[in-house]
Amino acid sequence: MAGRELAAQYDALDPAQIHEAVVPHLPAAPAAILDVGAGSGRDAAWLAALGHSVLAVEPSATMREEAQRRHPDARITWVADSPPGLEAVFRLNASFDVILLSAVWMHVAPAERARAFRKLVTLLKPGGILALSLRLGPPVAGRDMHPVDLPEVEALARRQGLVMVTTEAAQDRLDRSEVTWLQVVLRLPDDGTEALPLLRHVILNDAKSATYKLGLLRAVARAADGAQGLTRFALDTTVTVPLGLITLNWLRLYKPLVAAGLPQMPRNRGSKGLGFIKEGWHGIADLAATDLRVGTQVTGARAAALHSALRDAAATIAKMPATYMTYPGSQTPILPATRGRVDSLPAEALVVDAGYLWSFGELQVPLHLRRALARRDTWIEPALVYEWTRLMEGYARTQDRNLDPGQIARAMRWHEPDRDVAFARRAAAEVMASGKLFCVWSGRRLSETVIDIDHCLPWSTWPCDDLWNLLPAHPQVNRHSKRDRLPSAEAREASQDRILDWWQRAWLRRENRATRFRVEAQASLPVVPETAGELSSVFFGLQARRFTLRADQQVVEWSP
């Protein structure tokens, strides 16, 4: 079909109906809109008539000329370009509130879609939307078309940090029974603080000669999500966290990667060239990644090795990524580090607690960045993992190596502790041997054969096996009533006395357990350090953490 006939066919359709799913999410005029694969100019003209400025991208000279003839509008600028590269668009140095791809994605080859998607997202303003219409059905004979589906687009969105706004199915407007359409609207998050654009700059755009910057950012993100108690508010706009905590997370992240021999810079194999791989690192080879956590207690040679490994990693972090991860167009570090004076092991028995972690120094984190890392982890973590994976695959190519995707996925996984309540069950048996034990939620008496250990803050929401989070419960309540929901404020208050009694009897009567209880509570809950041993303070920290999970993740609540 000739260009003029195609244009007439396209223009016969009402764009407001075709893009019905997009209309509610269009910003107020005037906005900057990129129409990729603009074709006859139908959509560009519609958007321009709404008062927007439109950059219309169309690779076909014939179609562009016909579109300009049909829709002569000064608010439309025409460019000869196409995905995946969009080089002409990028040369304009513009960014957009809306990017529209109407009946275009099926023309992008599957092998080029990751690059095309990444380039499109780079052109979006924070808070901007990317709208695609996916053609579901057999291809047209003689035209360059490829299958498309929603899961692929969702995966690409997660990798680039976009969130799904809506999907809406629609019938084909040309009455082709074998063809249907799916309208997809995605948004680039913007929390109004510029934290998310800054994160995107570091994750996707900042120059990287190694994976160190991603390692530091991921270590900080893990601290923001799981160690609220180890934060000091230095200024109105800045918080500090222990450099030792960031270093502990760093070792936990790199341990499986180095063990798998995955390259962390262009020319190194395994651990060669990594500045923190020294004698101490090799001395903790028998420690699992999950052993590298707040509350770990080690002695003797293993304690000395862990101390040395932390010291070497802290030096690498302070010297490299903390110095060279800078604001765009500036030499100012985003996460400056100040090292402490830590040389010899403080004692033969090492307890990885708050005081020890602070002794390595501190890392400054902009407050808005820390809040974004804690609240937006559901998209920041996948974006970090994807970019880290992409870097390693690129490094491997410089070494003529092919990496196993399964091996990468296993090594990149944040190694949470196994969901293990055996220790708490043993403690419960000891408590019952010396007296009665009751379900914290219902008050029903428990026995060795009728007892569950419940995660007060659900494991599915926040994997945490800290002692304060493990509570005895009746199986009927735990499995059929509470399940993976947050206890409501009323449920928690009604159970306060039973929770405090359990903590006292199970954890505080033995010194080693009491130490672990206090260290874990101080790290993961917003507890004032000097009151971490007071059960009322820990209970308040539990309340505060519950509120945060409810506010940020909208976890469903439960009441007895």
Name residues whose C-beta falls within 8 Å of residue 238's C-beta, 6 or more positions apart in sequence. Answer: 364, 365, 366, 367
Quick one: angle between helices 377-398 and 150-160, nearest 10? 90
Determine the pLDDT at residue 211: 95
Residue 435: exposure state from Cβ atoms within 10 A (0-12, 13-18, ≥19): exposed
Measured CA to CA, the distance from residue 508 to residue 517 in angstroms comes to 8
Do residues 266 and 257 make contact, with C-beta atoms less than 8 angstroms apart? Answer: no
Q: How far apart are CA 353 and CA 359, in angstroms?
A: 10
Buried-exposed string 509-533: b where 16+ CB fall within 10 A, e elsewhere: eeeeebbbbbbbbbbbbbbebebbb
CA distance 39 to 57: 8
CATH assignment of 3-187, given 3.30.530.20, 3.30.70.3290, 3.40.50.150, 1.20.1420.30? 3.40.50.150
Q: Are 546 and 487 in contact (CB under 8 A)?
A: yes
SS3 content of the chain, % helix, strand, coil (to 5): 45, 15, 35
In the three-class reduction of DSSP (H, G, I as helix; E, B as strand; rest coil), residue 501 is classed as helix
Q: What is the DSSP string of 255-302?
A: HHHHHTT--SSTT--TTTT-TT-SHHHHHTTTS-GGGSSTT-EEEHHH
* Amino acid 3: pLDDT: 56
Tens digits of pLDDT across the chain (560 residues): 455 777 677 778 899 999 999 999 999 988 889 999 999 999 999 999 999 989 999 999 999 999 999 999 888 889 899 999 898 887 676 788 999 999 999 999 999 999 999 889 888 888 899 999 999 988 877 778 999 999 999 999 988 888 999 999 988 877 788 889 999 999 988 766 677 778 888 887 777 889 999 999 999 999 988 887 888 876 667 889 999 999 999 999 999 999 999 999 987 655 567 999 999 999 999 998 888 999 888 999 999 999 999 999 999 999 999 999 999 888 999 999 999 988 788 777 899 999 999 999 999 999 888 878 876 676 788 889 989 999 999 999 988 899 999 999 999 988 776 677 899 999 999 999 999 999 999 999 999 999 999 999 998 888 888 999 999 999 999 999 999 899 987 888 899 999 999 999 999 999 889 999 999 998 988 776 666 668 998 998 888 888 777 766 667 889 88
Q: What pLDDT sits at residue 272? A: 66
- Enumerate the β-bridge partners of residue 438: 445
Q: Which long-range contacts (CB under 8 A, 24 or more apart) does 433-436 make?
A: 434/505, 435/505
CA dihedral of residues 334, 338, 342, 347 (deg, nearest 10): -70
Cβ within 8 Å of residue 27, ≥6 positions away: 97, 98
Going from N- to C-terminal start, the domains of the chain cover: 3-187, 195-412, 422-558
